[in-house]
Structure 1
């Protein structure tokens, strides 16, 4: 059990770090637009100061408290950790990554950022330790108002992007690209990380189990 928890937490924390690195890259390439929530975070940063990561934490805290009051239950510890680590990692990587005014480099930042963001999401989701603040409110919308998760996510992110745009946040074609492409990247990468996590937890036994499942298929062929 200790080994399993170790690997699950490792995937969770490293996944958040990788995802935050991708977010920071898309922010550096904001000439083409950023993710809907980051439009809001950047808009607040430009208007009120602090930092992009700080606003991510502040809004996450507001969402956690709101959903806790509605659901009448305290969120999981992983929801709090998700909120704090995302904000801290985004600010760290924003500070470490060099800023550029060259259009080609900004576009490269954005493209690689979208891919890394999606891979990081899949990595942190794979251990199934709990949802982040924004995912929690999305699930709450579905439970209370009905409809699909996709529509709830689209509505929530649209509202965040519009408010962020009104505050001066960077909305562009990149905002649409992230909204459309990130789900496909996560969907493609998630099974790989789930299998990798199972392999790390099972250790040498994983190969034996896998070979038992594949032998009958080999005979049929």
Structure 2
């Protein structure tokens, strides 16, 4: 019974973290001064698909990318795939679209440039908070977020540098596909990784406080598929 309750709590916190992340992403989109690099890549794919005559939303493009990354990780190092990874592949797209609809009720496009830059920074911090909660549940993370951890395990380099390098790759690829590149994208590339590295320990403490358990590293089991 205690194990079932713990699993329910973890999944609840997982969905909360995922929703927080996508709210931050939606905030980027509404500033129109450049989204985070992965969203730029997602936007670029959606733009490319639309140019091909397909009606693709940002959420649809996101699902396509995650499915492809999921397949690659499954073939290369499938031990990183957990139930949360599958949930992200299926659920992130609709949550992005929902977040965009919620944020669209605010007249962000009428705000001054300085305020929009501030909202981009806030969006980065919101994403970092959400990710620190989501990853600390030990339920799993989205395929695109597994990649940095795989590289970190292999190279023993700090997360922030790996994340910045991958963000630069997504930025360049998304730009050439037709994503909206702006100062907000550059800001996101530079600060999202450091924000996440700073928030991860606090997210872990928060999750374990809610679960009323010891630190994940001290014996809490993963929720695998």
Give the alignment's TM-score, normalised by structure 1.
0.78
Q: Is 2:168 the counterpart of 1:158? A: yes
More off after superposition, 20-29 vs 184-193: 184-193
Q: How many residue pairs get matched?
A: 201
Who is 1:42 aligned against? 43
Who is 1:96 aligned against? 102
More off after superposition, 146-155 vs 93-102: 146-155
Whole-Å separation in 1 of the counterparts to 2:77 and 2:32: 36
Matched-pair contact (CA < 8 Å) for 1:17–1:85: no
Whole-Å separation in 1 of the counterparts to 2:13 and 2:44: 31
TM-aligned CA deviation for residue 185 of structure 1: 3.0
Whole-Å separation in 1 of the counterparts to 2:169 and 2:45: 14
Whole-Å separation in 1 of the counterparts to 2:199 and 2:96: 22
Whole-Å separation in 2 of the counterparts to 1:150 and 1:55: 26
CA RMSD of aligned residues (A): 2.6
Deviations along 1:89-132, one digit per CA (max 9) or x if unpaired, are: 11111122226432426445424322221211111122122232
Whole-Å separation in 1 of the counterparts to 2:160 and 2:126: 21
1:119 to 129, 138, 157: 129
Matched-pair contact (CA < 8 Å) for 1:16–1:85: no
In structure 2, the CA distance between the partners of 1:128 and 1:72, relative to structure 1 (3 Å rule), is closer
Whole-Å separation in 2 of the counterparts to 1:135 and 1:74: 11
Whole-Å separation in 1 of the counterparts to 2:21 and 2:160: 20
Which structure: larger Rg? 1
Matched-pair contact (CA < 8 Å) for 1:30–1:110: no
Whole-Å separation in 2 of the counterparts to 1:35 and 1:200: 30
Who is 2:204 aligned against? 194
Q: Which sections of structure 2, spanning at least 5 residues, go unmatched? A: 51-55, 214-225
In structure 2, the CA distance between the partners of 1:108 and 1:79, relative to structure 1 (3 Å rule), is same
TM-aligned CA deviation for residue 183 of structure 1: 3.0
Who is 2:28 aligned against? 26
**What SS class does the counterpart of residue 109 from structure 2 fall into?**
coil
More off after superposition, 109-118 vs 79-88: 109-118
**Correspondence list, 1:1-221, <5 A:** 1-31=3-33, 33-49=34-50, 50-71=56-77, 75-98=81-104, 100-104=108-112, 106-107=116-117, 109-141=119-151, 146=155, 148=157, 149-202=159-212
Matched-pair contact (CA < 8 Å) for 2:80–2:146: no
